[in-house]
Structure 1
């Protein structure tokens, strides 16, 4: 499997399981309807962990343009591969959202709340405020990228047993779970342009009953915010641990 295929498949699984839990909570007449934020945050944490386990040995499991761009900014990822990774991640996000639509095919028409339907694909802020929402996405992604870099520091790995190296994807998932619980309330913590924009595109094109608009006025914030946060985190990490990069 090529790294680009791995990024496509990994992001597809990430969105399928992550947006799948959103659909399970948001849509009417599902067995998980109204089960709450804890379920959503847990589902996303597990989705990230499983997707990273599937692809880390092939592509490094970026699964997120903010991670790819942040690593490239400090020379930890080859610049010629950046565009291919991002395209694969975006296509994976679209494919994962289509699979969520198919999984919950009988439930869209039962849900009359357009915001609940859109929330099963992409993010909307709890309180619309451009600057505040942008800052939230920057901070959430800063924590994500800094945490990924710190977890994977060579001195944290145990070459004799391979324990921490094998456990690293689970730690990344736990970190995403923590971000969701602690920082996700204002914007739904996209912290990943492919996770938001890819499904938003799918939402726009799919024939979903009662879907309403796709929220394009907000759509740039879950793209720009995570990219800024990822770049800041990468340079912050480089400044704190210069020997690691």
Structure 2
């Protein structure tokens, strides 16, 4: 993946007489991935959501942030003759950065912003348990459960779009409380923007520890009650991966 590739490197085979390489232009006359943005501008439709989609797609393509911004500016000037607004740039860059960060998180055992385990690490731990034994054995997945909690939304500064740091600190504090209630060898991982998942043994103390966790979280959360629940684990590894993806999107 060429996240940090530059336009100059990608166009190194171009005419050496060209000193300032331009963004790749499609037959429509617009940079790649910006065709829908141009259509929205021409039709007078809302472009914020379209720019967010373009930012996500460019991040998945491995485009650098410089290349992404260059494509946005070229599109805006080509259609309107002006530069894009602050809100449009913010939507594009936020989508690009969140998608890129999500990719980087999949490569690491630790979420870089919160210090909690990454979703990829939790996924790996689950796969190990499925390999150990069948769903009905204590050694396998049947002896484990996934405790999930979700921070309330609304009324908190971390709910502002683009405020990644405040949101991460909020989740990190909650993760430390989770480690107080689940202080053994549990895996405490970040799931998406507002959720944390805890892979723990299913034993006679599970219900009491979940109640302790709920009390700790509610005692430090001024913006509403924290939702805490025990998620049943599927009988197959593939379905468990789909479950984690669904939880992370929630």
Between Structure 1 and Structure 2, the one with more strand by share is: 2
Q: TM-score, normalised by structure 2?
A: 0.27
- Which structure shows the higher helix fraction? 1
Higher radius of gyration, 1 or 2? 2
Answer 1 or 2: higher relative contact order, Cα 8 Å, separation at least 6. 1
